[in-house]
Amino acid sequence: MFNHGRPRRAAPTITPPGECAALRMNCRGGPLWPPVVRLLRCSVCASGCGWRSKIITACGINYRSYCQSISKDGEHSNVSIEAEFAETSPESRQNSGGPSNFIRDIIIDDIKSGKYDGQVQTRFPPEPNGYLHIGHAKAICLDFGLAAEFGGKTNLRFDDTNPSKEETEYVNAIMEDVQWLGFQWDGLYYASDYFQQLYEWAIQLITAGKAYVCDLSADEIREYRGTLTEPGRESPYRNRSVEENLDLFERMKKGEFPDGSRTLRAKIDMSSPNLNLRDPVMYRTLHMDHHRTGNQWCIYPMYDYAHGQSDSIERVTHSMCTLEFENNRPLYNWFIEQLGIFPSRQYEFDRLALTHTLLSKRKLLKLVEEGHVGGWDDPRMPTLSGMRRRGYTATAIRNFCASVGVSKTNGITQLQQLEYFLRQNLNQIVPRVMCVQKPLRVVVENYPDDLVEEMDAINNPEDSSAGSRKIPFSKTLYIEEDDFREDPPKQFYRLAPGREVRLRYAYLITCKEVIKDSSGRVVELRCTYDPATRGGNTPDGRKVKSTIHWVSAVHALPAEVRLYDNLFVKEDPNEVEEGHDFTENLNPDSLQVIEDCKVEPSVRDAAPGTKYQFERLGYYCVDRDSADKMVFNRTIGLRDTWAKIEKRATSGA
């Protein structure tokens, strides 16, 4: 059967386990794709026992699984959990009452109780020190999605407190990515908008004896801070008078001191078990121009001081951060309480982690700066700009983010789960065309020399409104080299000497002669066609086991195809021995360029970003490098049945 790229689907059979970790899933006809194991709270755990259940999901099929949990009284009970795996888009789930998550439940309770007068205000607060990646997409969907569901508002705020790493380029790229994902902010703000207010609040804390100017160096501050098992030591400058602190802080603002010589620190508790409360730095001296304020300031607030107060200024009701900021929340609350300002509340959720994928802006920047990739928008990068250039759709990313859910437990999601939603969306929306990546010349000997016919081809079998197109057919064609075997092995049903195959949308042809060059390489096939089989039909009812794609040699356009694979060979790119670097896990075959491809003429005027399914090959996107010759990026491949058979045979030999 001709493969349109639609994932093969079968009803899963669930075997209720003896215990949750033993949950198994089998699909009739074999696994559809590697199962995804996610850790979620079950309904019993949510009541306080702390036990977490495992749900295995696959194929995007909604089904009910069963896990065994432990209730408060110690008795075992089967708890039914619905695995809502995003057959529906986030948009269709708004106001549906589910599936829910703990943050959504909190918002519902807050609205019911009249907290914040029933208002919902969220924000997405990126630092403009790099490009957004797929991990940020989860946060964006959560921030904007929850606010939209409950009639609230979402701000886009740049936490631009570190001029040494921030650039206007990043600001513009972030705004473009948020809008591309399908969201529009209600307010556009910058932490730098609040520099004066933050400075005045720092003065307030100094005056109240809650902050002091410290002369310790950065290394000395770390030394004095202590460890998780040992309390910190008080700075020798901790008990300066309010007057001296006010004077020194004013002089810091005027630029009288060199970089790093003095900081302003909050006076909290050097023996606190939470290291974030051991007199954290609020301001540092830094003589550097800011991308928005220029040289107006030579002291800059630290992220942990500016972040919570910025939320408060914007009256953010539900401030959502990933779990690594959980221990920062007491510090944010301390500042809010000491200043007596609007009590914005932070909630932490699990950050996204994907196999074979690096989601650290610092390390992604290293890849860019060291030339391992072609830039932030290299199609191998997990940045939203890179994924967009590769051919990902915003819909696929949003549906994927909806599928991974929101919890209080970090875990790892299989890359195949993202790829499933990508294939699912592209299969529905993109037109089909034919492209031959490794051309093998075919001469149809009994076809008239000067005849050119136009064959009717369906643009998208999933969308009847997409219509059809005309494809030129002539005496000389190109087919894929891999679609011919001179000595075909078992289960290879494509073209071979004496064998008949169907040309997609055209005729049945039979190979009569094989032409080779001096090295013995096959360079041309001589074939005949059956004029009665136009459109691929067989009036006499004979069976043909294979259909292959082709292009007319005279009419085909030259093209370059870039085949992308995982950027890292290991599931965890950070898995390296001590003293080694994560770049050692880079995949040397993550990009392969095929120069002399041939594509049907219907794509001639396609603009960069236009997406296609190359029939039998995969999904491709026109790259911005297209000029004299079209350039296509492979977004993701289709499943090639014969390639799998051949791979198994090779590995078993």
| pLDDT tens by residue, 438-463 | 999 999 999 999 999 999 999 999 99
Contact 299, 213 (CB under 8 A): no
DSSP characters over 597-650: EEE-GGGTTPPTT-EEEETTTEEEEE-TT-SSSEEEEEEEEPP-HHHHHHHHHH
For residues 251 and 76, the model is more confident at 251
Q: Collapse the DSSP code of 534 into the 3-class scheme (helix H, G, I; strand E, B; otherwise coil) and give the result.
A: helix
Contact 485, 496 (CB under 8 A): yes
Mean pLDDT across the stretch 530-551? 94
All residues at 6 or more sequence positions from 299 whose CB lies less than 8 Å from its CB, including other chains: 199, 252, 253, 264, 283, 284, 285, 286
Q: What is the 3-state secondary structure (H, E, C) of 166-191?
A: CCHHHHHHHHHHHHHCCCCCCEEEEH
pLDDT score of 648: 64
**What φ, ψ does residue 193 adopt, rounded to 5°?**
-65, -25
Catalytic residue among 127, 314, 419, 500: 127
On the CB side of 635, CA atoms within 13 Å amount to 32
User: Can 127 be counted among the known catalytic residues?
Assistant: yes
Same topology, domains 434-555 and 557-653? Answer is yes
Average pLDDT over all residues of the chain = 86
Given a cut of 50, whether residue 9 has pLDDT beyond it is no
Which pair of tokens denotes residue 256?
């009288």
Amino acid at 98: G
Beginning with the edge strand found earlier in the chain, give each strand of the sheet holding 508-516 in spatial order.
Answer: 547-548, 500-503, 508-516, 522-529, 439-444, 476-480, 551-552
The residue extents of the domains of the chain are 119-349, 434-555, 557-653
pLDDT score of 83: 33
pLDDT score of 508: 97
Domain 119-349 superfamily per CATH: HUPs (3.40.50.620)
Which pair of tokens denotes residue 21?
């970790």
Given a cut of 70, whether residue 35 has pLDDT beyond it is no
Q: How confident is the model at residue 651 (pLDDT cuts 50, 70, 90)?
A: low
The residues pairing with 283 across neighbouring beta strands, listed in sequence order, are 264, 301
CA distances to 40, 178, 353, 381 from 134, in Å: 21, 12, 9, 10
User: Can 351 be counted among the known catalytic residues?
Assistant: yes
On the CB side of 535, CA atoms within 13 Å amount to 6
CA distances to 134, 390, 400 from 427, in Å: 21, 16, 15
User: Can 470 be counted among the known catalytic residues?
Assistant: no
Mean pLDDT across the stretch 479-491? 94
For residues 174 and 538, the model is more confident at 174
Q: How confident is the model at residue 646 (pLDDT cuts 50, 70, 90)?
A: low
* Chain segment 156-199, per-residue pLDDT in tens: 999 999 999 999 999 999 999 999 999 999 999 999 999 999 99
428: how many CB neighbours lie within 10 A of its CB? Answer: 13
Q: Collapse the DSSP code of 101 into the 3-class scheme (helix H, G, I; strand E, B; otherwise coil) and give the result.
A: coil
Q: How confident is the model at residue 100 (pLDDT cuts 50, 70, 90)?
A: confident
Catalytic residue among 351, 363, 512, 639: 351
All residues at 6 or more sequence positions from 225 whose CB lies less than 8 Å from its CB, including other chains: 232, 270, 275, 278
Given a cut of 60, whether residue 236 has pLDDT beyond it is yes
Given a cut of 60, whether residue 640 has pLDDT beyond it is no
On the CB side of 345, CA atoms within 13 Å amount to 10
Residues 422, 426, 428, 431, Cα dihedral to 10°: -170
Which pair of tokens denotes residue 341?
């300002």
Least trusted range by pLDDT, from 6-15, 113-122, 332-341: 6-15
Residue tagged 């200043």 (tokens): 339
Which DSSP category does 151 fall into? T
Nearest to 107 by CA among 86, 90, 89, 122: 122
Catalytic residue among 138, 361, 389, 423: 361
For residues 224 and 37, the model is more confident at 224
All residues at 6 or more sequence positions from 272 whose CB lies less than 8 Å from its CB, including other chains: 278
Given a cut of 90, whether residue 507 has pLDDT beyond it is yes
Q: What is the 3-state secondary structure (H, E, C) of 436-469?
A: ECCEEEEEECCCCCCCCEEEEEECCCCCHHHCEE
CATH architecture of 557-653: Beta Barrel (2.40)
Given a cut of 80, whether residue 232 has pLDDT beyond it is yes
β-pair type (432-433, 611-614): parallel
Amino acid at 6: R
The sign of the torsion formed by the CA atoms of 41, 43, 49, 55 equals negative
How far apart, in whole angstroms, are the C-alpha atoms of residue 636 and residue 142? 26
Cα of first residue to Cα of last residue in the chain, in angstroms, is: 28
For residues 483 and 644, the model is more confident at 483
The residues pairing with 457 across neighbouring beta strands, listed in sequence order, are 469
Which pair of tokens denotes residue 649?
């045979």
pLDDT score of 89: 40
pLDDT score of 99: 58
How far apart, in whole angstroms, are the C-alpha atoms of residue 226 and residue 215? 18
Angle at 415 between CA 409 and CA 418, to 5 degrees: 90
Q: Collapse the DSSP code of 596 into the 3-class scheme (helix H, G, I; strand E, B; otherwise coil) and give the result.
A: strand
How far apart, in whole angstroms, are the C-alpha atoms of residue 151 and residue 107? 12
Q: Topology of domain 434-555, per CATH?
A: Ribosomal Protein L25; Chain P (2.40.240)
Q: What is the 3-state secondary structure (H, E, C) of 313-334?
A: HCCCCEEEEEHHHHHHHHHHHH
